[in-house]
Amino acid sequence: MAATTVVENCNLLSQNNVIVAQASKRSRINKAVSIMQDNYDDKAKVYYDKENDVIAIKPTDEDFEEAVLAVMNGEASKSDWKDLTDSIDDLSETIHDKLHIKTPVAIVNPENPDKVLYASYDGSSMYDVMDDNN
């Protein structure tokens, strides 16, 4: 009977470690979202998309929205888009290094937030809609 109790206690400890790790990840993601929201101020909504495990940036400022939509339509300058994607890469690298978050950061289509336009993980591009426009 004592062996069974030890095994059950080990399982409980393992389950508790998983719960603590998940709570810890959520709190780090919440902190990253809060910091990023402060940086984007009124220009974008920043939120965690749990279903896709991504921190999403949805442009809300009219100029920002127009710039992003121009990229989708193949009308944007590559240098402006590169400046924006470089800043997203910097953000993703910072949250990975400082907060130990292994979650991509993505700019989403302001008209359809289910569509990712650019995604970065640990400072490196994972997806870029501009690649599709060429």
- Residue listed under structure tokens 């206690």: 9
CA separation, residue 26 to residues 32, 75, 102, 123 (Å): 10, 37, 11, 20
Tell which residue, 103, 125, 129, has the closest CA to residue 47: 103
- How many DSSP H helices and E strands does the chain contain? 4, 5
- pTM for this predicted structure: 0.78
pLDDT digits (tens, 9 = 90+) for 7-19: 444 444 444 444 4
Beta bridge partners of 59: 44
pLDDT digits (tens, 9 = 90+) for 26-36: 888 999 999 88
Which whole number is the average pLDDT over 95-114?
90
